[in-house]
Amino acid sequence: MKVRHQMFVLSALAMLCLRTPAVARNAVQIKVGDTPPELLGKDVDGREVRLSDYRGKVVVMSFWATWCPPCRKELPILERLQEVGSDRGLQVIAVNWEEEGATFRRAVKILSSFQLKFVSDTSGKVGKSYGVNAIPTMLLIDKDGKVAFMTIGYGESVINSLVPAVNKALGLDDGSSASAGAP
């Protein structure tokens, strides 16, 4: 009986971790409808990556870290979104938040088969400018360069909300369908 109780508690904690964002602190607030900051960080080669590099595309960006279990669970979902949406004008950008450059480069090497654009925000300044106070934080930027969707944390409900928002931003439907399928 005691073992079952412990397993239940561990399972409950695991589920909570998947739905609860990691880290919390005060930061600027960015809202749907806002024009987001231009700078996204630096790529693995040290080049600055800017939102204007993706002008005319729909951009999904997620702030993440290697130590964050919900973030690691989200990355393959974002990769699938990139695979299906890239020919429709979608770019997914994974912004590694507040981790050392060596950690970022190792993660990118491990994830080298991914089509995502990986960007580093070692200092956390980019995240701060986006109002990131917990990870994962995901934003959807529409073709007009405005924030169309944003969420903190990861769970199935996030994906069920993101897919229709991406479809709407891509002009594929009215955004009302909650299909877990591809955009």
Instruction: Write down all domains in the chain, each with its CATH number in brackets.
Output: 2-170 (3.40.30.10)
Q: Kindly write down the DSSP assignment for every residue of 114-167, as one continuous string.
A: --SEEEEETTSHHHHHTT--SBSEEEEE-TTS-EEEEEES-SHHHHHHHHHHHH
The predicted structure's pLDDT at residue 28: 65
Residue 180 has pLDDT above 50, yes or no: no
Average of per-residue pLDDT across 143-147 = 95
User: Is the confidence at residue 144, as pLDDT, over 80?
Assistant: yes
Single pTM value for the model: 0.80
More confident residue, 9 or 90: 90
Q: Which amino acid is at 22?
A: A
Residue 179 banded pLDDT, cuts 50, 70, 90: very low
- Quote the pLDDT of residue 175: 45
Q: Which band of pLDDT confidence, cut at 50, 70 and 90, is reported for residue 174?
A: low
